[in-house]
Amino acid sequence: MIKAIVFDLGGVVTNYSHQRFYHELAKYLKVNPNVLLPTLKSILKPFNRGEMDEDEFWRRLVENLQIELPANHKGFIRYEYEKDAKINKGIVKIIESLKKSDFKIALISDTIKSHALRTKEWGWFKYFDVVMLSCDVGLIKNNGKIFNLTLSKLGLKGNECIYIDDKKENLIPAKKVGMKVILYTSSQELKKDLKKLGAL
């Protein structure tokens, strides 16, 4: 029996797009996105795990790209997030409906500290009974431990939960811990998928 619904943040609960950020960062640094992406992805993993601050992120980034650090780089990451991130009202309605049916609602997000802080300031974590952020727990979604930790906080087994994400690769570790999974494409499709699994 399903007792909890677990959501991804960026691309599901919010419309924040990492792809858009990558392209904006490439333009800002005046580098080819195809050159930036491999370097950025390698740095983002420890950044998301909270193992480095923004100063270290920028230092490693420009060092690997062999470019000069822009003088006005401080605040760029937060500014791009504030400009781009909007809450998905369709998802909020679904969450509110699920709460009325007594489902526990959780969030798992690979995120950095400045994004997490801004999201908290906007009050978007209020919809969730459990909030699991990679930068707080030192784990990202490619490691099944963050899913096990979420289950422990919920006090549930994997087969009692549904996990929703817009990236296929993030569904794999969720399935490994026994969760039912939904690949998110739109709030309308999500409603249909949740009904099929008996959650709406």
What's residue 122's pLDDT? 97
pTM for this entry: 0.94
* Domain layout of the chain by residue ranges: 4-15+86-196, 18-84
pLDDT on residue 112: 96
**Nearest CA-CA partner of 18 in 119, 118, 111:** 111
Distance CA 127, CA 92 (A): 8
Mean pLDDT per 10-residue interval, the chain, length 200 residues: 97 91 94 92 94 95 94 93 95 97 97 96 97 97 94 98 97 97 97 93
pLDDT of residue 200: 81
Q: What is the 3-state secondary structure (H, E, C) of 140-158?
A: CCCCCHHHHHHHHHHCCCH
Domain 4-15+86-196: which CATH number of 3.40.50.280, 1.10.10.10, 3.40.50.1000, 3.40.630.30: 3.40.50.1000
> For position 17, what pLDDT does the model report?
84
User: Distance between CA atoms of 67 and 69, rounded to whole angstroms?
Assistant: 7
Bridge partners, 180 (sequence order) = 162
With CA atoms as reference, report the closest residue to 9 among 42, 43, 37, 48.
48
DSSP element (H, E) containing 124: none
In angstroms, the CA 6 to CA 151 distance is 10
Predicted local confidence at residue 19, as pLDDT: 86
